[in-house]
Structure 1
Amino acid sequence: MPGVLITTSHKPSQRTRSFIKDLANTLPFSKHVNRGKKTIEELGLEAYRDKKQYIFIVGERKGNPSIIKIYRVYLDEKPPKTKHVATIIIKGVNLTRENPDASRAYNPETITIDYNACIKDECYKLADILIKIFHETISDKADVIIKLEETKKFIIIKPLNRLGKPCGPIIRVIGVKIHV
């Protein structure tokens, strides 16, 4: 099953490391790795070895996660090529440990993207990206439901478990860029 390799920019803060760990526990077939001094090509090789089609690189500003760069790994090419496909600009995050109502999703295998509350194009763009990444694991009776909600200033990504309780980091997004 293709999934996501999640890592950070070089020299991440503890909060960013906690965020990628939370994200990896929430998204199906995803794995978090320590970046160290690895280049994008080396991350592509690691994703190829683990049969992951996408790489999320979380960048930070002032010690907090501020951007997620999404790279596509072409597994059929040798050596595997990586292409920057999208960027998600983050306003802020609430980690699972900061939310008293949150529980943990254990080894999720299926996901649903709930974008019924979307009104603006930005929210639909984000939903399209998530659907493209997780198209093979989307199910009606999913282990994790990614609920997209809009406010005046940003889009909220809220992962919920089957019971409707938060089960991962809540992410406030202020921008989505798709790179062709």
Structure 2
Amino acid sequence: MNIRKIITFTEDIHSEGGRPVDPPARTAVVLAVIENPWAGQGFVADLLPGIDEAAPKLGELLAPRVVEALDAPVEAYGKAAIVGLDGEIEHGSALIHTLKFGDHFRRAANATTLLPAVEKRAAAGTVFDIPLKHITDATIRSHHQSIEVRVADGPRADEIVIGLAAAAQGRPQARLAPLSTER
């Protein structure tokens, strides 16, 4: 696995809807810009060797970094794979939609739910939203949120941006009724 760079973003929202958010609502994202392990090979029928090589290492690398950047217990989480234009969306999906990747984050966050995801093929600098859901109950509406990120120079055509996102709380000023109240 060839990593070109790792980027960490944090965001602290102090005000929402004209009202203070106390404590500030914190989110964190860690992105790795990696060489696409299948770049230049044409159609690859068996992605498993590349998955086995890269996915566990990426999960092990990114999970503790995003938890550390959040600097609070994780309440919501998500993942992303943005594939450069010479790759296939399946290349990104192969790396993030495996327990070999996701279980590192689940353990680090003490989570039990599936990680929501975004995956797409895009040019360098494309803005993308990473969806987040509650770590133990995906029906908790207050934690349904997303965080917008971009890598100015990635992914290059033969790269993939792999990311993890975490939030220390639900949406600032969340006030929707629980899903169980609707019939």
TM-score of the aligned structures, taking structure 2 as reference length: 0.27
Structure with greater helix share of residues: 2
Greater relative CO (CA pairs within 8 A, separation 6+): 2
TM-score of the aligned structures, taking structure 1 as reference length: 0.27
Structure whose alpha-carbon radius of gyration is higher? 2
